[in-house]
């Protein structure tokens, strides 16, 4: 059984090919799954997808018509998959329930420090041999307050780093994490966290109830000089509302590794095209904003774990086994 993998990055391909060797042949494609590319999967019982692939109703129906019965998504998030339609079609859906939390937590801190210390602006200047310090002043984070929205494995890893910086720790989640409590974290309401935090970092999944968790009201509740970091899912932040606040001169810095309308943009080279997304085009013009292309997870360790789990998910499917990674079981 040949596995067809969509949306494979160049660095990812050799890892996927080595992991599947001796199990199933695999064909890697750099194109993303959508309505136009779904016919490529015809005749493939199992496929693998990335988080920016489209697995909405029309795509799932096209896959099912072509004989696809199993999709192994190479990510933790699955908001791009219509699970109800997949179940109706009898299609098995699996994901990667966990991988290195340090990859994302460390990158979230990379974004926070980069915007705080104006690293991108400084690097751009020195390339032009401009060594002035004007406009590059940051601030110590020691003694300031870090607000962590979502204290699961990644949020906990982020909290440990914040503790190392000597920061006061505030948390918000439906369940308190004992490890974070041991570090001195105090759980508060979202409103209190936003009002008191100098640094706010998002580590919650994108669900209907967390869509635009950081909306216009939440942004207004934050300190004018706060730093906001989102390395989780783009839909957690109302980007149009964020642009409005940035235009008003608010926030020391904003670091975004994800964007709510990133599908069709991120992971692709759009450098020679006009970007029709006015919100994104405006967002990247602010000097205190740093946008990266959903790369927080992109370490050798994390990608290696993602690929290994994906292979196990396919092997479990062929053997009729079920694991914690299965979102829609085999019918």
pLDDT of residue 43: 96
User: 10 Å Cβ neighbour count for 207?
Assistant: 12
Contact 194, 147 (CB under 8 A): yes
- Residue-wise DSSP of 193-232: HHHH-SEEEE-----TTTTTSB-HHHHHHS-TT-EEEE-S
**Annotation says 262 is catalytic:** yes
Query: At which residue do the structure tokens 């041991």 appear?
Result: 182
pLDDT by position in tens, the chain (length 331): 999 999 999 999 999 999 999 999 999 999 999 999 999 999 999 999 998 899 999 999 999 999 999 999 999 989 899 999 999 999 999 999 999 999 999 999 999 999 999 999 999 999 999 999 999 999 999 999 999 999 999 999 999 999 999 999 999 999 999 999 999 999 999 999 999 999 999 999 999 999 999 999 999 999 999 999 999 999 999 999 999 999 999 999 999 999 999 988 898 889 999 889 999 999 999 999 999 999 999 999 999 999 999 999 999 999 999 999 999 997 7
For residue 108, which phi and psi values (nearest 5 degrees)?
Answer: -60, -40
* Active-site position among 74, 95, 118, 233: 233
pLDDT digits (tens, 9 = 90+) for 55-74: 999 999 999 999 999 999 99
Does residue 196 have an active-site annotation?
A: no
Neighbouring residues of 110: CB distance < 8 A, sequence distance ≥ 6: none
Q: What is the pLDDT of residues 247-292, one digit of tens each?
A: 999 999 999 999 999 988 898 889 999 889 999 999 999 999 999 9
pLDDT of residue 263: 85
Q: Which of 12, 245, 260, 262 is catalytic?
A: 262
Residue with tokens 């292309």: 293
Residue 47 — φ and ψ, nearest 5°? -130, 165
d(CA 170, CA 192): 9
């Amino acid at each position: 059984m040949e596995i067809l993998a969509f949306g494979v990055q160049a660095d990812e391909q050799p890892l996927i090919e080595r992991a599947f060797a001796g199990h199933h042949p695999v064909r890697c494609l750099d194109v993303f799954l959508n309505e136009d590319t779904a016919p490529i999967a015809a005749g493939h019982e199992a496929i693998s997808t990335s988080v920016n692939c489209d697995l909405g109703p029309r795509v799932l129906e096209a896959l099912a018509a072509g004989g696809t019965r199993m999709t192994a998504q190479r990510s933790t998030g699955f908001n791009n998959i219509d699970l109800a339609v997949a179940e109706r079609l009898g299609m098995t859906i699996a994901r990667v329930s966990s991988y290195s939390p340090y990859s994302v937590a460390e990158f979230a801190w990379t974004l926070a420090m980069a915007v705080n210390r104006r690293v991108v602006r400084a690097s751009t200047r020195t390339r032009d041999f401009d060594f002035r310090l004007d406009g590059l002043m940051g601030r110590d984070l020691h003694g300031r307050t870090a607000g962590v929205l979502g204290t699961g494995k990644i949020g906990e890893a982020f909290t440990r780093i914040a503790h190392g910086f000597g920061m006061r720790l505030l948390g918000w989640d439906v369940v308190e994490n004992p490890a974070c409590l041991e570090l001195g974290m105090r759980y508060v309401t979202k409103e209190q966290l936003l009002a008191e935090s100098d640094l706010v970092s998002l580590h919650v999944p994108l669900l209907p109830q967390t869509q635009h968790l950081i909306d216009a009201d939440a942004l207004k509740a934050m300190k004018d000089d706060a730093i906001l970091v989102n390395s989780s899912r783009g839909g957690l932040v109302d980007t149009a509302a964020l642009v409005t606040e940035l235009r008003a001169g608010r926030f020391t810095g904003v670091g975004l590794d994800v964007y709510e309308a990133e599908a069709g943009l991120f992971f692709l080279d759009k450098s020679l095209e006009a970007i029709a997304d006015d919100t994104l085009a405006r967002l990247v013009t602010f000097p205190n904003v740093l946008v990266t292309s959903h790369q927080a997870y992109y370490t050798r360790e994390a990608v290696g774990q993602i690929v290994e789990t994906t292979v196990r998910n396919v092997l479990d499917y062929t053997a009729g086994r079920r694991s914690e990674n299965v979102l829609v079981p085999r019918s």
